[in-house]
Structure 1
Amino acid sequence: MNPCEPHDPDDTDVYELAAPVPPSAPSPALMARAERGWAAFLDRCDEDGHRRSAETGDET
């Protein structure tokens, strides 16, 4: 369809919108992986996001 051509009001099939795709829930495996990654981050970093030493727990 050429956008410069006049619009035919009876030509509705061109303008039909597709049904919206519902969002899918994340897979349980993906959620478990995210939880493990978050737990690992919390083990390595303090509440401000600074890395901690694995041996002493002090900020590096």
Structure 2
Amino acid sequence: MSMLESLSRYGTAIRQAHDRSKARRLLNSLPPEIQKDIGWPVSPRSSERASLSNAIWSAVR
């Protein structure tokens, strides 16, 4: 296997990971009703996530 083939495979893997990440962000940005309709697990909204994070860290202190 040549160095260029290895580099090409590495670039393909990075591009595929980026595409998966972009699709995940897009699906997570949809409203919860649509996420449920398409079978995507409903992700907590940023405000819910922030309040949960604050609750966890305030309990630790």
TM-score, normalization by structure 2: 0.33
Instruction: Point out the structure with the larger helix share.
Output: 2
Q: Which has the higher contact order (CA 8 A, sep 6+)?
A: 2
TM-score, normalization by structure 1: 0.34
Q: Rg bigger for which structure? A: 1
